[in-house]
Amino acid sequence: MTDHIAFSVDKQALLLLDQRFLPDREECFVCRNTADMIYALQTMVVRGAPAIGVTAAYGCYLAARESAEAGPAWKDRLNTLLTELEQARPTAVNLRWAVERMRAQWAALPAASLDELLSTWLGLAQDMHSEDIEICKAIGRHGADLIADGDTILTHCNAGALATAGYGTALGVIRAAFEQGKRIQVIADETRPFLQGARLTAYELAKEGIPVTVACDNAVGHLMKRGMVQKVVVGADRIAANGDAANKIGTYTVALAAKAHGVPFYVAAPASTFDLRIASGDEIPIEDRTPREVTHIGEHRITPENVPVYNYAFDVTPAELIAGIVTERGVLTAPYVASIRAIIGGK
C-alpha cells in the first residue's frame, strides 16, 4: 500500500486517499495549494507523523508554485506560506522536520530562481517519499526480531502504511514478522474518538490477510490479564531526548496496563520523529481537537447539548514504561538519553 500519497506531475497536485471515509469508501482528496494542504492535515484526510512529513514536503513545492502569484515578492510570500504550513498541526514533529529540510535546501541555493527551486524541491519531496518507505522497511526488519512465533500483538491507533509513505512503523514490525512466516495475531484497539484502529489498522491488515481482531479501548487490561497479549507495538508522533514518546491519546493507558501485566511495550518510529530540542515529554505540545469528534458519531450526537468534553489528541508515555524504541538504525533501549544520543545524534 503506497499509492495513498501520490503526486501527479500532469495535474501539478498531490492526490491523497481520504482516510476520513475508510473503510466505507476510497475517495481521493486533491491538494493544489497551501490552503488545501492545511485543510487535509487539520481534518485528518492524511494523518500519521511520517505521512504528515511526506505530505508537507510536497506542500512546500505547492506553496512555491503558489508564491509565483506574488511576482518579484515571491520569496516573502513563500516564507509566509511555509510558516502557515509548518504550524498546521502542533504535535507531530515530522511536519516541522519536513519544512525545515526543504528550507535548508533553499538556503543552500540562495541565488536560485523560482523555477530552479521548484525543480529542486519536487525532486527532494519525491526522494523523501521513497526514503520513508525504505525507512519503514528497515524498522520492520529490526522490530521483527522482537516478535516470537505465536505472539499476539496489540497496537493502538494506526501506525501502518496509511500513516507513512508505505509499509508502516508499528505495522511495519508486524508485517515483517508475518512475512518471515511467524504465526501471529493482532489486536487493534478501536482508538476513540477517531477510530483509527477500528477503521484503518483493521482495514490494512485485513486487506493483506494478517489476522486482526478489533477490541474496544477499555478492554486492554482485561485482555492482558487473561494472557491474550504477548507484545505491544505502537507508533509515535514525537519522541523527546529522554525517550518519552507522544502518540495517539490512550497510548499511555495501554503502556500502564502493559507494565502492570509484564507485557513488553515497544515504540516504532523513524529518526525524523525524535525531537532532540526538548528534554522530556513535558515539553511536547498536545493538540486539543474539536469537541465534535467526541460529541458526535457521524451526524448523530451522543452527548447532551452544552456538556463540555476533553478531546486531547495525544498523550505522552514516559520512557520508563517503554521496553525499546525500534528505529531504522536499530532498537534503542534504556538508558534512552545515552542510546538516543549515540544512535540518533543529529539525525
The pLDDT assigned to 346 comes to 64
User: Whole-angstrom Cα distance, residue 153 to residue 148?
Assistant: 10
Angstrom distances, CA of residue 277 to CA of 51, 88, 273, 346 = 22, 20, 12, 10
Q: Are 52 and 95 in contact (CB under 8 A)?
A: yes
Beta bridge partner(s), residue 178: none
The pLDDT assigned to 347 comes to 60
Averaged confidence pLDDT in the chain: 97
Name the residue ranges covered by the structural domains of the chain.
Answer: 5-135, 140-344
The candidate with the shortest Cα–Cα distance to 247, out of 30, 77, 47, 74, is 47
The candidate with the shortest Cα–Cα distance to 275, out of 100, 154, 138, is 100
Residue 1 above 80 pLDDT? no
Binned at pLDDT 50, 70 and 90, residue 2 comes out as confident
What's the pLDDT tens digit per position in 202-215? 999 999 999 999 99
The pLDDT assigned to 345 comes to 82
What's the pLDDT tens digit per position in 265-321? 999 999 999 999 999 999 999 999 999 999 999 899 999 999 999 999 999 999 999
Q: Do domains 5-135 and 140-344 have the same CATH topology?
A: no
Q: Are 284 and 308 in contact (CB under 8 A)?
A: no
What's the pLDDT tens digit per position in 308-329? 999 999 999 999 999 999 999 9
The pLDDT assigned to 13 comes to 98
Residue 73 above 80 pLDDT? yes
The pLDDT assigned to 286 comes to 97
Which residue is listed with cell 522490530?
143
Mean pLDDT on 169-192: 98
Residue 159 above 90 pLDDT? yes
Mean pLDDT on 25-48: 97
Catalytic residue among 36, 132, 151, 237: 237
The pLDDT assigned to 115 comes to 97
Question: C-alpha grid cell for residue 67?
Answer: 508564491
pTM: 0.95
User: Whole-angstrom Cα distance, residue 119 to residue 99?
Assistant: 16
Residue 182 above 70 pLDDT? yes
Residue 105 above 80 pLDDT? yes
The pLDDT assigned to 341 comes to 95
Binding residues: 47-49, 89, 196, 247-248
* Annotation marks residue 237 as catalytic: yes
Q: Are 248 and 313 in contact (CB under 8 A)?
A: yes
What's the pLDDT tens digit per position in 113-150? 999 999 999 999 999 999 999 999 999 999 999 999 99
Share of the chain above pLDDT 90, in %: 97
According to CATH, what is the number of the domain 5-135? Answer: 1.20.120.420
According to CATH, what is the number of the domain 140-344? Answer: 3.40.50.10470
